[in-house]
Amino acid sequence: GAVVSQHPSRVICKSGTSVKIECRSLDFQATTMFWYRQFPKQSLMLMATSNEGSKATYEQGVEKDKFLINHASLTLSTLTVTSAHPEDSSFYICSAINSGRSYEQYFGPGTRLTVT
């Protein structure tokens, strides 16, 4: 139980284009999901908190107009990287809170974004 999926697992896009990453909770409802960014050999940095039916809360320094988050249902949150640049290349990981177990996050397998 408590499986979180991400799609795609890898994506390559050209500079200036946009790319959407999906995060799904497969066997539980998640009122809250988190988006993290991880640079090579570094820790996870929280980008934003996504709450179903409301606007995402972004961490300081994260451009909300560049990283669009939509949490339209209890099982799906999406992260859209708009007008991507090579410096946006990174590993993006989502996590979801099982509403019945509020203190534990379940992590997706991550999405490797490469912007050329």
Partner 1 sequence: AQSVTQLGSHVSVSEGALVLLRCNYSSSVPPYLFWYVQYPNQGLQLLLKYTTGATLVKGINGFEAEFKKSETSFHLTKPSAHMSDAAEYFCAVSDQGYSTLTFGKGTMLLVSP
Q: What residue type is assigned to position 111 of the chain? A: T
Does 97 participate in binding partner 1 (rule CB under 8 A)?
yes
Does 91 participate in binding partner 1 (rule CB under 8 A)?
yes
The rounded distance, in Å, linking the Cα atoms of 31 and 15 is 33
Closest CA to 8 of 106, 79, 64, 104: 79
Report the nearest approach of partner 1 to the CB of residue 109 (Å). 4
Does 46 participate in binding partner 1 (rule CB under 8 A)?
yes
The stretch near partner 1 (CB under 8 A) out of 11-19, 42-50, 68-76, 82-90 is: 42-50
Question: Scanning the structure block, which residue is given the tokens 């979180």?
Answer: 4
Cβ-based nearer residue to partner 1, 13 or 46: 46
Give the up-direction half-sphere exposure of residue 67: CA atoms within 13 A in the CB hemisphere. Answer: 23
Which pairing describes strands 10-13 and 67-73: parallel, antiparallel, or unpaired?
A: unpaired
Report the nearest approach of partner 1 to the CB of residue 41 (Å). 8
Residues that bind partner 1 (CB under 8 A): 4, 6, 32, 34, 42-44, 46, 49, 91, 93, 95, 97, 102-110, 112
